[in-house]
Structure 1
């Protein structure tokens, strides 16, 4: 609730949700979401809403002084040996494929530097994780780059570019990828995910009609279905993917397309020092993975 109270006082100080968001590094929608959560926790409305405007109501005016008092008490915790700066919680979102790869080393490096801080990793698909960063529920998230521009209050740091390949059963190794894709049942990377949209765009661009038999988001599950000869699949070469015996990959050559993995977070105005350090650890770990020679 501390974060929401700070946002509430920022709205009171700067007059509008948009102005408050600009000053503290959040989007207007993120400010609105935090105020709504605060109102739900308190059990009463703080603003009278008419159209796009929100005016502090009587309950809100009474809450201002109490919120300031509470935050002043909270701030005094830092007088106890600067403990408030040495402990805390980082809330980080991550798509499944990075949780078993460079994110492990990023958390290790972060914990070595700031052992008093805990890290909570929240799994999810990129679209949902992006929304949680935008709403202020998370400090950062490692996701697939969205196919649209991010709000100005969020920053994007590219980490890795993973090429897509055609995963096939071993007996199809060495065959032309285009012929295989057209003639075999197709296991589709979920179109609700950013990665799945890249696959869909690739197929349409190349005018390739496929015979869909299964659609799912879990990459390792897709590889398992290929191993069982259910079909073939276009998947990114993520470092965490295990290619079991019986599965081969066909390179797409000049037609190769990529899944861009990156770190999304509020701009530096909205970040505390620990969150900035966590971001630096993620960037460094991804860079080390990209520089490592392929097996």
Structure 2
């Protein structure tokens, strides 16, 4: 609850969620979410919410005094031996394909540099992970770049760019990809995901009508469905998939190829822990090494 307590103190000092957020690098909705979690954890309300202001109620004023005392003690721990900087917990969001590729190398490198820190990898789809970073629930996340502008107080760092290809049963590998998209059952990359939206946009741009059969988000599952002859699929050629089964062929889309961009979403450097920045750098280096390799 340290993060929530820091935000609570900021709200108490600035009087509004928006003012506190501007000071500590969070959106108003993220501050609101943190205060809701803190109140649920404590079991009582901290504010008299009127209009845009957030005025402390009697329980809130008592909690503020205790919170400031706790943060003072925590700061003293940092001064004596650097405990706060050398140990702690980081929550890192990651889409499935990143977890089985460059993220492994990044975690290994980070643990060698800062063995005192524990890491929790939070799985999820890109949209949910983006919201969790924005709300301050996780520190950083590896996601697909969204098809809309990020909140102004979040930062983006591109890691890898992956081309899409049409996966088909090996027996159909000699046929044109356009023909196969029109004639074969289509295994669709979930439209609720950012990657699936890229597929949907591509099909509309190319004016292609497909025969939807199955829709899912798990890329490895899509590969296995194609291998069993259940249809064709447009998916990114990501390192996390490894070598394709012999029963599957990947058809290049030529000049019509489209891409998904994988990157890191982070809060501004001044509002995140130094260890989170160091882990982000390790992830960036690992992704670059995987790209060159």
TM-score > 0.5 by shorter chain: yes
In structure 1, what is the equivalent of residue 287 of structure 2? 286
Counterpart Cα distance in 2 of 1:20 and 1:269: 14
Q: 5+ unaligned residues in a row in structure 2: which ranges? A: none
Rounded to whole Å, the distance in 1 between the matches of 2:255 and 2:51 is 52
- How far residue 18 of structure 1 moved from its aligned partner, in angstroms, is 1.3
How far residue 53 of structure 1 moved from its aligned partner, in angstroms, is 3.4
Distance 2:25 2:70 in 1: 22
Structure 1 CA distance, aligned partners of 2:153 and 2:92? 17
Structure 2 CA distance, aligned partners of 1:273 and 1:72?
Answer: 19
Counterpart of 2:273 in structure 1 is 272
Stretches of 4+ moved more than 6 A in 1?
none
Aligned 1:121-132 pairs, distance under 5 A: 121-132=121-132
Give 3-state SS (helix, strand or coil) of 2:240's partner: coil
Q: Deviations over 1:49-79 (max 9, x none)?
A: 2344322222212221111112212222224
On the 8 A contact 1:89/1:120 being kept in 2, the answer is: yes
C-alpha distance in 2 between matches for 1:284 and 1:191: 31
For 2:163 and 2:143, the matched residues in 1 are separated by: 16
Structure 1 gap segments, 5+ residues each: none
Corresponding residue for 1:237? 237
2:90 paired with 1:76: no
Tell me, yes or no, if structure 1 residue 26 matches structure 2 residue 26. yes
Deviation per CA, 1:226-245, whole angstroms, max 9, x where unpaired? 00000000000001113111
TM-score (norm 1): 0.96
**Alpha-carbon contact 1:23-1:269 (below 8 Å) kept:** no
Task: Show the counterpart of 1:53.
Answer: 53
- TM-score w.r.t. length of structure 2: 0.97
1:258 aligned residue: 259
Compute the displacement of 1:218 (Å). 0.2
What does residue 181 of structure 2 align with? 181
- Give, in whole Å, the separation in 1 of the partners of 2:272 and 2:210: 45
- Residue in structure 2 matched with residue 218 of structure 1 by the alignment: 218
Aligned length: 292
3-state SS in 2 of match to 1:38: helix
Per-residue displacement from partner, 1:74-99 (whole Å, max 9, x unpaired)?
A: 22222442222111111100000010
